[in-house]
Amino acid sequence: MRNHAIFQNTNPNPNAIIIKAKILESEIREVMKKREQLRQNQNRSMSRRSITWRPPPGNWLKANVDAAYSRSTAEGAIAVVIRDNSGRLLTGESMRIRDYSSLAADAEAMRRALILAINLNMEQMLIESDNLPLVQAVKSKTYIGEVESILRDILLLAESLSNCGFTWVPREGNKVADRVAKCSLAGQLEENWRRKPLR
């Protein structure tokens, strides 16, 4: 407007200039806000994709556990997938169960992993679950009312192994156990799933 006033001899309207500047400012702010949201969404998406299965340390084995549960039928399926530090599938187990909650089903999967490790003399075992309250309860040796008896079993069984640890992983890092449990619940799990490469 200043250039118009100097070079074209126009008489600028200060109120119109202020209104136009405020409109432009709000448009710029809106564009910047959208760009920031887009950047955050991309970062979230990239971090989700970068979460994968991590190998256990040294000679340890890792048992990823998960459960699928249907509240309407009170039926579920548990999955245990045991791999070495190169990611090679050593063994696994899946079974249908009847239970009263998804937390109870996840706790059953963890208990089953310990039983499997003891029966197969797997002494150094890291058990990984995407159920954070369950992992926290086991690590802190506290009890959650609805699964107290299962948690007591888990802690007792863990003492039978010379080295046993429990870790939490986001669902994206527990995909194989999640898929095995869901397929088992849906009756779609292939008989030879233990002999196939897992991703």
- Same domain for 66 and 155, yes or no, is yes
- Same domain for 176 and 80, yes or no, is yes
pLDDT at 49 over 70: no
Band of residue 196 on the pLDDT scale cut at 50, 70, 90 = low
* Residue 131 structure tokens: 């159920």
Least confident of 39-43, 177-181, 182-186: 39-43
- Same domain for 42 and 123, yes or no, is no
pLDDT at 197 over 60: no
Does a structural domain hold residue 56? no
Nearest to 179, CA basis, from 77, 72, 73, 48:
77
- Same domain for 128 and 178, yes or no, is yes
Per the structure, the complete domain to which residue 6 belongs is given by 2-50
Q: Would you state the pLDDT for residue 198?
A: 56
Q: How many structural domains are present in the chain?
A: 2
- Same domain for 27 and 74, yes or no, is no
pLDDT at 97 over 90: yes
Q: What percent of the chain has pLDDT over 90?
A: 62
CB 10 within 8 A of CB 4: yes
Does a structural domain hold residue 55? no
- Whole-number mean pLDDT of the chain? 89
Does a structural domain hold residue 184? yes
Q: Would you state the pLDDT for residue 45?
A: 63
pLDDT at 51 over 80: no
pLDDT tens, residue by residue, 119-131: 999 989 999 999 9
